[in-house]
Structure 1
Amino acid sequence: MKLNYKHFPGNGPSVLIIHGVFGSLDNLATASKGIADAGFDVYTLDQRNHGRSPHDDRFDYESMAADLYEFIQDHQLQKPALVGHSMGGKTVMQYAMEYPGTFSKIVVVDIGVKWYPPHHESILNGLNALPVHEIESRQQADELFSAYEPIPAVRLFLLKNLYRTETDGFAWRLNLPVITAQIENVGAAIEPRRTVEEPALFVKGATSGYIKDQDWDEIQQSFPAAQLVTIPKAGHWVHAEQPKAFVQEVLAFLNS
């Protein structure tokens, strides 16, 4: 699958940056620019069924890792570093398991290797309930969606997936039916197909519960070279809540 992407050119090594579920490449634009400003050649991607990338009935980490491999081959990138947030972090870990020798190091942002139970039911109910073809404004969409999601910043993030059609209505960039039907795949565990010896940085938000202390042993069984950094005053959206600290830690790792 040919993924949509944005390129932040640089003269240094290549870095690929990948968003999480319900997201798009725009979510990581600030981090991408910050890493590119330090001299790296940065690509940020829309994963399948998200953003402006193609829709497909298959939605699992094997297919998303294969998309990433195809992108790296198409762009003739030599062992890029891979950075992924949440679902993107699991894509990166899956890639590391399946494609040894094709990347230099990985950064996994606020997600572990374990299985996570589905926890997006209210969000999916709200997205599916929105009469997008009848909505006249984003404000109207926000008001309707507030019955399902009380936090304005979360609503703003999710409703970025709406776009105005040529007939002046709205539609989803997300492949909402497939994501809804296969949301359990987003929480799937990363199977330990090999021991990944390449350098790995796991970044967690101090107030996030996605990576717990008891998860670290399991992570290091598959990624023995992994190190963990905790960003203070940040939850799951580390790169958005503490962008300067996040970029600083990632650059320190990439330059090490």
Structure 2
Amino acid sequence: MQCPRGAPAPGSLRGRCKALVPGAGGRYLCPMLATHVHGDATAAPPLLIVHGLFGSARNWGAVARRLSDSRRVVAVDMRNHADSPWTSTHGYPELAADLAEVIEAEGGRADVLGHSMGGKAAMALALTRPGLVDRLIVADIAPVAYDHTQVGLIHAMRGLDLSAIERRGDADRALAASVEDPSTRAFLLQSLDLRSKPHRWRLNLDTLEAEMPRIMDWPEAIDGQFGGPTLVLAGANSTYIRPEHRDRIKALFPAARFAKIPGAGHWLHAEKPREFEAAVRAFLDLAPSPRP
């Protein structure tokens, strides 16, 4: 997004243009995405954290705070999620462009950590704008199309009668009729805003449903390679990264190394946060930055 020099940001961007960076034509770049910043700048590149579908930067608060002891950590709300703007599109080229704006506002380079949908967006960013990415961490996702869908969860959220909800426990009991897994319900309910009147989901359910085929897909038009240090981190109990995906990953990310978190499933950062943090920290501490 471009904002005129000195002008307030439009609409939901107001207040977010504190991190303006010079752009072409005498205009300044204003990142579209809402961010949660932890820690101070150090000699290390900042770490950009990119959440998955139905998530938010807030989901990553504990991990981000702990990792910020040695670097600045910037967690984003992706478009159509939480405090970022709602749009009619939600494909990986657009998500990668959103992330590029944030990194440009942070100085033009960053380490990038993405989970699930956020991992695909991070991979798309690294392949299309490799100069912005120092090191890449992909959490439990591969650059492939998946044959399942999350539309059922959207229908469950949309089917909740929010006017009858007074407490989060009420919402959990009502949602249990269509979402059996308690941890999935707890995750979804983090995006239910009970302070607003009327209550609302902090998710653009209409766009996410319409764009679900693109979210589950991988854009084959994105080609090339990212040669920087790459960690592909999987939950040992998850099936999102399969043995047959390794050749595809190595073709796009030839420096990729693979690791698993024992006892973790797809939400590895929430199920095993300390083990996840240790794996990320070890990679960032040991993998040399490609730039001084």
TM over 0.5: yes
Separation of aligned partners in 1, 2:196 and 2:188? 21
Q: Counterpart of 1:40? A: 71
1:74 and 2:105 are equivalent in the alignment: yes
> Given that residues 133 and 171 in structure 1 are in contact (C-alpha distance below 8 angstroms), is that contact kept between their aligned partners in structure 2?
no
Are the equivalent residues in 2 in contact too, given 1:208–1:235 (CA < 8 A)?
A: yes
* Match for residue 170 of structure 1 among 182, 196, 199: 199
User: Of 137, 141, 155, which residue of structure 1 is paired with 2:167?
Assistant: 137
Give, in angstroms, the shift of residue 234 of structure 1. 0.5
> What does residue range 94-109 of structure 1 map to in structure 2 within 5 Å?
94-109=124-139
Q: Percent identity at matched positions?
A: 35
**Structure 1's 190 and 35: CA in aligned 2 closer, same or farther, altered over 3 A?**
farther
2:216 equivalent to 1:187: yes
Output aligned runs, 1:1-256, within 5 Å: 2-10=32-40, 11=42, 12-37=44-69, 39-76=70-107, 78-167=108-197, 169-191=198-220, 192-256=222-286
Quote how far apart the aligned CAs of 1:145 are: 0.7
Paired residues in the alignment total 253
State the superposition RMSD in angstroms: 1.4
Partners of 2:33 and 2:238 lie apart in 1 by: 30
State the Cα deviation string for residues 34-90 of structure 1 (Å, max 9, x = none).
Answer: 2112x01100000000011110001111111111111112232x4200000000000
CA contact (8 A) 2:149 2:212 kept: no
Q: List alignment gaps of at least 5 residues for structure 2.
A: 2-31, 287-292
In the alignment, the residues of structure 2 paired with residue 230 and residue 164 of structure 1 have an alpha-carbon distance, to the nearest angstrom, of 37
1:206-249 alpha-carbon deviations (Å, 9 max, x no partner): 00000011111111011110000011010001111111111111
Structure 2 distance, partners of 1:126, 1:166, is: 20
The CA deviation at 1:166 is 4.5
Cα deviation for residue 14 of structure 1 reads 0.6
Letter in 2 for 1:57: S
Q: Secondary structure at the match of 2:37?
A: strand
1:166 & 1:57 partners in 2: Cα distance? 23
Q: CA deviation at 1:250?
A: 0.7
Query: Aligned to 2:95, what secondary structure does the other structure show?
Result: helix
Letter in 2 for 1:183: M
TM-score when scaled to structure 2? Answer: 0.83
SS at match of 2:170: helix
The gaps in structure 1 that reach 5 residues or longer are none
Runs of 4+ in 1 over 3 A off after TM superposition: none
1:89 partner SS: helix
TM-score, length-scaled by structure 1: 0.94
Q: Deviations over 1:105-133 (max 9, x none)?
A: 10000000110123223312211111224
Report which of the two structures shows the higher radius of gyration computed on alpha carbons.
Answer: 2
Matches of 1:245 and 1:9, distance apart in 2 = 21
